Chain A
Amino acid sequence: MADNGKRKIVINPVTRIEGHGKVTIHMDAANNVEQARFHIIEFRGFERFIQGRFYWEAPVAVQRLCGICPVSHHLCGAKATDVIVGVDKLPPTAEKMRRLMHYGQTYQSHAMHFYHLASPDLLFGFDAPVAKRNVIGVIQEFPEAATKAVLMRRFGQEIIKATAGKKVHGTGAIPGGINKNLSVEERDSLKKDADKMLEWAVEALELAKKVTKAGGQSLLEFGSFPSNHLSIVRPDGCMDLYDGVLRAKTSDGKIILDQVKPADYLDYIREEVRPWSYMKFPFITSIGQENGWYRVGPLSRINCCDFIDTPVAEKERQEFMALGGGKPINSTMAYHWARMIELVHSAEKIVELLDDPDLQGTNLVAVGKKRPRGVAWIEAPRGTLFHHYEINPETDQIRVANLIVSTTNNNEAMNRCVQVVANQHLKGKAEITEGLLNHIEVGIRAYDPCLSCATHALGRMRLQVQLVGPDGSIIEEKLRG
């Protein structure tokens, strides 16, 4: 500890979260939290990666930005290039193939996150030994659930392979449509497991609900704070993970904006740059930088929509919203419950789509008149994803690109979460224990952030924990991995 009694706790990188994040917590002499920040230390250079490419390359190229949710980038890129090729309505086969791909991605991502990353904390407690608090611990204590988690993730990946053509750098979605339909063989192969996958999704939801309720008020208040919520919804207010208009609500449910179309997003959303983070801080323009930040992702999507058009998920949405008497839920840990409602919704949609003969249609691509600008969005598993391209019509090359990715949209919220969790759990404590550090991780993990773009080469991943004094000296250091 330095002479002035102040110290800084550094958690770097945050574990069980994609990529390399760093948390710094500045504490005063009495071990009260003075300030907490969640840093993004890797510069991703998204826009520069896309600029100069031909627009038709974008749907494939943008997948390389992220190995965690490549399908979301693939589909959002394709949707932006739909606009560029002048197509506002896809043939039914193309739209449904893309939706199937998207629900497959959401299904596998949500199942994986809940069982593999979140459930160890929920089932064993935040203070359980780290050696137990992981998926192997889940396998040993709950072998059946863990095996189902693996097979659920695999099922989602099989859908992606069948619709995108392959798992790595899929090529299914192209400007104006799709390049393949779903063969009868592919459909039948997926159909044989689809009902079971829905059943297992409901089991996962029941487990999420049970552990959240068992945690009581203290769990719901963990890392929680009021915030605005933003997501896309269908124009009639129905949840829609693939397409729709933008809606935002205040923490108590008042509509801030609604029916916003992709092309107009810059009139409603701005991004702030702060010197200590490479990641931007988006905010709703009409409210301003100070209070215009918002949350995205499963919790916000459930909060923003009026209803869900699949029966089981809608029933569960109603039960979930009853927690807040119909007003938005602002609990960080409620993300897990909301995520599982979406897991069920995705499974219901998959079952529905696999019965739709349009997937075997042969009209795959629409054409239109080329436009110089294309903006699109999609609800990626982690939240709203924006792709905006402007092209040089003479050369067809992208000259301007702007991406707001899901984790960026949750940037301020994650900082707030760290601050709240630090205040709740580190206050007055002088010792950095595994359990204490994990409370910070648990809070951030609820947002399922993705920071790494999937560069994971052997030797790169590790956990470094430092306690640093204001003079820069390391007071305490811990390494994992």
Chain B
Amino acid sequence: MSGSRVLILGYGNPGREDDGLGPALAERCGALGLPGVTVDSDYQLNIEHAADLSGYDAVIFADASVDAREPFSFGPTKAAETIAFTTHSVSPEAVLAICQDSFGPPPEAWVLAIRGYSFEFAEGLTDKARENLDRAVAFVKSKITSRKEQQMGSCSASKKTILIIDDDPDIRAAVRIILEAEGYSVGEAAGGEEGLKVAEKIKPDAIIIDLMMEEVDTGAQVARKLKDEEFAGPIWMLSAAGDTVQYNLDQRELGLAGIFQKPVDPARLVKTLKSKLAGG
């Protein structure tokens, strides 16, 4: 995300339980007083929001989702080329298209889809949705803060390339979304051998490897080979059994920078990478 003026547009009906996640996120982010950030909320995304986008460098559309990955998904989006059908409420892509056609180039855009669970007539969010909201707010805060740091030249994440090696395409996609949102370049590989080849090709600054792929210790084997090949960057292991791995893997011997527990906490992932790669 580049530029200094960011609009966070949260939409949904707070009278329908988790449908209120979008406005709740906007309210929470507004209370944070993030520099350069304007928040707005509405029941629905509508055509006049196309005019509202003018003058912003970036926009985050925040909405509840009935089927997004928990706790939320975050990814770039762009103006729709075609629209299959429309209602009084419109999609972020349609708003961007209307903005593009009627009001000039739309801002860089992202969709933050926060997982909700219940959408009945009742006040307030469900407990699980509230947890997801907390993590989404932390993520947005981290993202906005890192954007400011980038503008101040303290960390140029866009120059860094991260390789994610995991046989689960959803995990790779999730890590890619998180890291690309931070300006990193991301390479992917679906297994150990492929990972070594991709690493040779793209020369990543850091690598994240799933421990259990073809075999239970494939990740450790890959880390060992990378060390033998004198890969100098930090390597993190990814595991669904993070704590157990802590005690059963010789991190020093493998040259690991650490272990991330699945599911990955976006804020922790970004913070850790930034800390390790800053100034490098």
**Interface residues, chain A, CB within 8 Å of chain B?**
15-18, 44-45, 48-49, 61, 63-65, 67-68, 70, 108, 112-113, 116-117, 130-131, 134-136, 139-140, 143, 146-147, 149-151, 153-154, 157, 167-169, 450, 453-461, 463, 480-481
Contacts and interface: CB of A to CB of B under 8 A. Distances in A.
Interface stretch (B97-105, B175-183, B196-204, B227-235): B97-105
A130 B101 contact: no
A154 B51 contact: yes
Contacts of B46: 112, 153
Contacts of A458: 63-68, 111, 113
Contacts of A113: 88
B67 A459 contact: yes
Interface of B: 12-16, 18-19, 23, 41-44, 46-48, 50-52, 63-68, 80, 82-90, 94, 97-98, 101-103, 111, 113, 116, 119, 121
B121 A135 contact: no
B15 A63 contact: yes
A480 B121 CA distance: 27
A134 B94 CA distance: 10
B88 A68 contact: yes
A150 B98 contact: yes
Given A143-B101, A150-B51, A154-B48, 18 more contacts: A64-B15, A67-B43, A108-B48, A134-B86, A135-B94, A136-B94, A139-B97, A139-B102, A140-B101, A150-B47, A168-B23, A454-B13, A457-B63, A457-B66, A459-B65, A459-B66, A463-B84, A481-B85
A457 B116 contact: yes
A239 to B, nearest CB: 24
Contacts of A147: 102-103
Contact of A139 (B13, B90, B98): B98
A274 B43 CA distance: 31
B66 A151 contact: no
Nearest to A144: B102
A192 to B, nearest CB: 16
Contacts of B51: 150-151, 154
B97 to A, nearest CB: 6
A382 to B, nearest CB: 11
A70 B41 CA distance: 14
A122 B71 CA distance: 43
Contacts of B42: 167-168
B61 to A, nearest CB: 9
Given A18-B88, A130-B84, A131-B83, A457 B47 contact: no
